[in-house]
Structures are given as structure tokens and as C-alpha cells.
């Protein structure tokens, strides 16, 4: 029968650990026969593993891959937002960075300057060598249905502060680029900081080093 986008979106919230097909059918309202067929198709696509008679096990990465599949099946950002936990959103961003050759770390803490609190945290950091320079892409993930332009400007300002603090600590990084990844927004720059919808992240990474007026924090030569 193939994989239905609408049925997949109903399944994703329940893709958590070991679950029986009967339980998945009951919780989603999908018939057992259709549920079984969908699960076989998903496992065939590398999402989930059949364990024993009538059971399937899902990892968090399976759930991320299911979301990616739903997006490829033209799921809207509103649909994705309803089934995607904010932690999953961060993992999805990290997965896309790794696909594009970045060494990725999650929830990286850096020391703040006096008056800004003791620590700051960057949701996702991807590091890649570009033209013999180690470049860090520092991403703030905003899993929000809506974000106003004024709030987005404040988010960008804070991300610049984090980028400066990060490069001050990391002697192995030459350049730091602050960025914000959101569920749905028109791609743009705010004071040089890229605003990237998750559906355009791969395209953004391919074009990153050709973007004009990009805000880059460079290591000061000592």
C-alpha cells in the first residue's frame, strides 16, 4: 500500500521504544492490517525493527527519520510541529549537519562574560574544516509555530554573544558562525545572522560560504 503521510504523522508520536502492533493500532486508530503493512514498509525503509511476534522497537533516531520521511511526503511545517518534540528537532538539525560533513555536538556549554550569567548553552555546534580553517556553525533551534520579527532579532543578538564566547574558549576553532534554525520562516539575514527554515537547511549548508554579509566571529590573533 505504500506509506501514507497522514497515517505516518499519526504514528510518529508513539514511536518510542518497544510497542505492540495491537497497541499502536489502538492508540492511532489505524486498523491492525493497515498498521502492519505500514510498519513493514517503514522497516523496509530503515525505520524501526521488528522484535518477536507482533512487536516493533523504535529509537529516537527512528522517530527523526520518520519525520524526515513525512517531510519528503510533503508534510506541512504545522503537521511536523505537532508531532516533533523540541529535542527531536535539535537532533534532526544535528543529523543534517553530520550528513554534510560536520562534526556535531549537542547542548554545548560556554562561559558567559560577567553580567550575563555563569554559563550559556548552544543547541547544536557543527565544526568543519573549510579552506584550512576550522569553522564552527553555532545553531539555536527554535521549535516554535510562530516567532515575531522582534523576538527573532533578540534571538540573533543572543546567538552572536554565544558565538563570541565559544570562540574565546576554543583554541581549535578559527571562525564561528551564529545561525538560527526554525520550523517555518522566510530565509533571511538579521544583522548578518542567517534565519533558516528546517526544510531549507541542506540547501543553506551548500550555499553557506557564498552568502554575502554573513556574520562571522573570527579568532583574534595573539
Question: Which residues does 17 contact at the CB level (< 8 Å), separation at least 6?
Answer: 57, 58
Q: 203 and 131, same structural domain?
A: yes
CATH of the domain at 63: 1.10.10.10
Q: 69 and 39, same structural domain?
A: yes
Q: Render pLDDT for 169-185 as a digit per residue (tens, 0 to 9).
A: 898 999 999 999 997 77
The helix/strand/coil state of 117 is coil
| pLDDT < 50 stretches in the chain | none
Predicted pLDDT of residue 116 = 53
Q: 94 and 169, same structural domain?
A: yes
Domains: count for the chain = 2
Q: 105 and 30, same structural domain?
A: no
Q: 103 and 67, same structural domain?
A: no
What is the C-alpha to C-alpha distance for residues 133 and 166, in angstroms, rounded to an integer?
16
Sheet containing strand 49-50, edge to edge, reads 17-20, 55-58, 49-50
Q: 99 and 178, same structural domain?
A: yes
Predicted pLDDT of residue 144 = 79
Q: 93 and 76, same structural domain?
A: no
Predicted pLDDT of residue 118 = 64
Predicted pLDDT of residue 164 = 93
Look up the pTM and report it.
Answer: 0.76
Read off the DSSP letter of residue 100.
Answer: T
Predicted pLDDT of residue 108 = 94
Question: Which residues span the domain enclosing 112?
Answer: 86-218
Q: Which residue has the cell 530565509?
A: 187
Predicted pLDDT of residue 84 = 80
Q: 207 and 134, same structural domain?
A: yes
CATH of the domain at 209: 3.40.1350.10
Predicted pLDDT of residue 221 = 65
Q: 11 and 66, same structural domain?
A: yes
Grid cell listed for 138: 553555532
Q: 213 and 106, same structural domain?
A: yes
Q: 181 and 134, same structural domain?
A: yes
Amino acid at each position: 500500500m505504500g506509506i501514507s503521510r497522514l497515517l505516518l504523522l499519526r504514528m510518529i508520536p508513539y514511536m518510542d521504544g518497544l510497542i505492540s502492533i495491537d497497541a499502536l493500532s489502538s492508540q492511532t486508530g489505524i486498523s491492525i492490517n493497515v498498521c502492519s503493512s505500514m510498519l513493514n514498509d517503514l522497516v523496509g525503509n530503515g525505520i524501526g525493527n521488528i522484535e518477536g511476534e507482533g512487536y516493533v522497537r523504535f529509537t529516537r533516531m527512528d522517530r527523526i527519520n520518520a519525520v524526515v520521511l513525512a517531510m519528503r511526503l510533503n508534510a506541512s511545517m504545522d503537521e511536523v510541529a505537532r508531532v516533533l518534540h523540541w529535542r527531536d528537532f535539535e537532533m534532526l538539525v544535528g543529523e543534517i549537519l553530520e550528513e554534510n560533513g560536520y562534526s556535531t555536538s549537542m547542548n554545548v556549554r560556554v562561559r558567559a562574560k560577567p553580567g550575563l550569567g555563569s554559563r550559556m548553552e548552544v543547541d547544536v555546534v557543527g565544526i568543519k574544516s573549510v579552506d584550512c580553517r576550522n569553522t564552527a556553525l553555532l545553531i539555536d533551534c527554535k521549535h516554535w509555530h510562530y516567532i515575531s520579527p522582534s523576538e527573532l532579532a533578540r534571538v540573533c543578538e543572543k546567538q552572536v554573544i554565544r558565538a563570541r564566547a565559544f570562540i574565546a574558549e576554543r583554541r581549535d576553532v578559527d571562525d564561528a558562525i551564529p545561525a538560527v534554525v526554525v520550523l517555518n520562516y522566510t530565509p533571511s539575514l538579521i544583522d548578518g545572522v542567517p534565519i533558516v527554515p528546517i526544510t531549507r537547511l541542506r540547501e543553506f549548508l551548500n550555499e553557506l560560504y557564498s552568502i554575502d554579509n554573513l556574520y562571522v566571529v573570527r579568532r583574534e590573533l595573539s
